Amino acid sequence: MATALITGGTRGIGLGIAEALADEGFDLALCGRRPASSVAEVMSALEARGVRVTYTQADISDGEGRQRLVDGVREKHGELHVLVNNAGIAPSERLDILHATEGSYDQVLDVNLKGPYFLTQAVANWMVEQRQGAGDYQGCIVFISSISTTVASPNRGEYCISKAGLSMAAQLWAVRLAEYGLPVYDVRPGITKTDMTAGVKDKYDDQIANGLTLQPRWGVPEDVGKAVAMLARGDLPYSTGQVLMVDGGLTVPRL
């Protein structure tokens, strides 16, 4: 049974990905900042899909947390085939970049960029080890970035910068891991209905109704989950380093 590690996999987009990969038969290793008792109901629901599910409380912005996570997956599952770098945070307060704070910048960049970058380093070395140990080993890495990689929002600049950096990280790891046959992908969700976007629901309801997206609806976590499942299955084996947009056509240039 193949195993997938999904950071932030117990709610929002991460949960949508976890559900999709469980339906594909992947055992799941999940992590998040919340204690295990807070995610017990989610864990049970995922296990009901017929797969093994484990959880590690870990902050990926912290080196010790990342190491504890990887060690935990090794101990509990013994192998790893898919890493989904999904965990991310928005600024605690949306501030115009004329007034943004260094504290918010550091917090967002640590979680959204530094954490996935160095978690990928640890996992990539393990995947190379597995690949060299078994010629039939198949693995892949998926970065969940955002349309904010290229769509500027001056009231949350730190978030946009973190996602732009994450997309470059995906390209860097695609280049570095190509010799080992380990593909790396960048999935960019658009406006997706989660607890992170609940506070701006009215704003985006209005914009979507007025043509912001070609497909006139919010994205849902299931949309991203289906995209990641396709990659985890190996349906795009000749596309390492590429971007997969899941944004309802928001970023299509129009006149």
The catalytic residues are: 159
Q: How far is CA 181 from CA 18, 139, 184, in A?
A: 24, 8, 10
Assign 230 to helix, strand or coil.
Answer: helix
CB 247 within 8 A of CB 187: no
Segment (H or E) for 58? none
Q: b or e along 225-253 (b: 16 or more beta carbons within 10 Å of the residue's beta carbon)?
A: bebbbbbbbeeeeeebbbbbbbbbebeee
Round to whole Å and give the CA distance between 22 and 29. Answer: 11
Q: Checking DSSP bridges between strand 82-85 and strand 3-7, what pairing results, if any?
A: parallel
Rg over CA atoms, the chain: 18
Round to whole Å and give the CA distance between 14 and 192. Answer: 12
Of 97, 89, 216, nearest in space to 159 by CA = 89
Q: How far is CA 166 from CA 77, 113, 142, in A?
A: 27, 6, 11
Distance of CA 74 to the CA centre of its chain: 20
CB 141 within 8 A of CB 86: no
Residue that is written with structure tokens 């769509």 in the block: 151
Of 67, 62, 56, nearest in space to 32 by CA = 56
